Chains A and B, each alone.
Chain A
Amino acid sequence: DARVTQTPRHKVTEMGQEVTMRCQPILGHNTVFWYRQTMMQGLELLAYFRNRAPLDDSGMPKDRFSAEMPDATLATLKIQPSEPRDSAVYFCASGLEGGSYNSPLHFGNGTRLTVT
Chain B
Amino acid sequence: KNEVEQSPQNLTAQEGEFITINCSYSVGISALHWLQQHPGGGIVSLFMLSSGKKKHGRLIATINIQEKHSSLHITASHPRDSAVYICAVRAPPTSGSRLTFGEGTQLTVNP
Contacts and interface: CB of A to CB of B under 8 A. Distances in A.
Interface of A: 31, 33, 42-45, 48, 50, 55-56, 89, 91, 93, 97, 100, 102-107, 109-110, 112
| Of listed A48, A56, A105, A109, residue having the most chain B CB within 10 A | A105
Contacts of A56: 96-98
Contacts of A97: 93, 97
Nearest to A106: B45
A42 B42 contact: no
A19 B109 CA distance: 38
26 contacts: A42-B101, A42-B103, A42-B104, A43-B88, A43-B101, A45-B101, A48-B96, A48-B97, A48-B98, A50-B97, A55-B96, A56-B96, A56-B97, A93-B43, A97-B97, A100-B30, A102-B30, A102-B97, A103-B48, A104-B48, A105-B99, A106-B45, A107-B35, A107-B44, A109-B42, A110-B42
Main secondary structure of the interface of B (DSSP, over half): strand
